[in-house]
Structure 1
Amino acid sequence: MSGFRHVVMFRWVEGTTTGQQDEVAEKLGELPGVIEEIREFSLGADAGVNPGAHDFAVVADFDSRDAYLAYRDHPSHRAVVEEYIAPIMAERASIQYET
């Protein structure tokens, strides 16, 4: 495989509800149907196996760095971040790398 991968992990603020977390997952899960540059997309809540883990992660694969940048800046992605993620985000960690 040759391409570009984006991995992001979140910790939610204390008091974040299951409903809010489900809404984030639902809204992010709609993006592959809207943003054609997404090649593969996986997301999920932490399984609770190890202490100190982040609460939620997204792994997205793209054909190129430019395709990732199109996703990053896409209005639908920005709307999900601003409307659903930012209000409950306590911490974010991300990495992007060539595959």
Structure 2
Amino acid sequence: MLRVDLNQQGVLPMLKHLVFFKFKETTGPADIERLTEGLGKLPARIELIREFVFGRDIIHSDRSYDFALVSMFDDLEAMQAYQVHPDHQRVVAHVKEICSSVIAVDFEC
């Protein structure tokens, strides 16, 4: 996805933010539901988010993580502002309780 720069008539890259979650063995359905509900509220509360999708892994291979999030922002500054937003920080606190591993990749596209 690219943004059109209306002033310069060019195309600007956007920032894609991917996060993969590995749940602890003790993580239960209620924990995952709370995560899903928390994430689901973020796009309405954080206007910087341009695209936001997430869900559980359906393959369950040895190399799979349990849950993934893909989001898109106008630029690095917008993503960094999202990172420190209080609503995002509440979700992060829950993630720290229920996940044994979290990895992220951020790139322009």
| TM-score normalised by L of structure 1 | 0.93
Paired position in structure 1 for 2:45 = 34
TM-score, scaled to structure 2: 0.85
1:88 aligns with 2:98: yes
Structure 1 stretches of 4+ moved >6 Å: none
RMSD: 1.0
Which ranges of structure 2 fall in alignment gaps of 5 or more residues? Answer: 3-12
The alpha carbon displacement at 1:47 in A equals: 0.8
Counterpart in the other structure of 2:71: 60
1:60-86 Cα offsets, whole Å, 9 max, x none, are 10011111011011111011111x211
> Which has the larger Rg?
2
Letter in 2 for 1:19: A
Tell me the matched-pair count: 98
Question: Secondary structure at the residue paired with 1:38?
Answer: coil
Higher relative contact order (Cα pairs below 8 Å, separated by 6+ residues)? 1
1:4 and 2:15 are equivalent in the alignment: yes
| Cα distance in 1 between the residues matched to 2:58 and 2:36 | 14
Unpaired segments of 5 or more residues in structure 1?
Answer: none
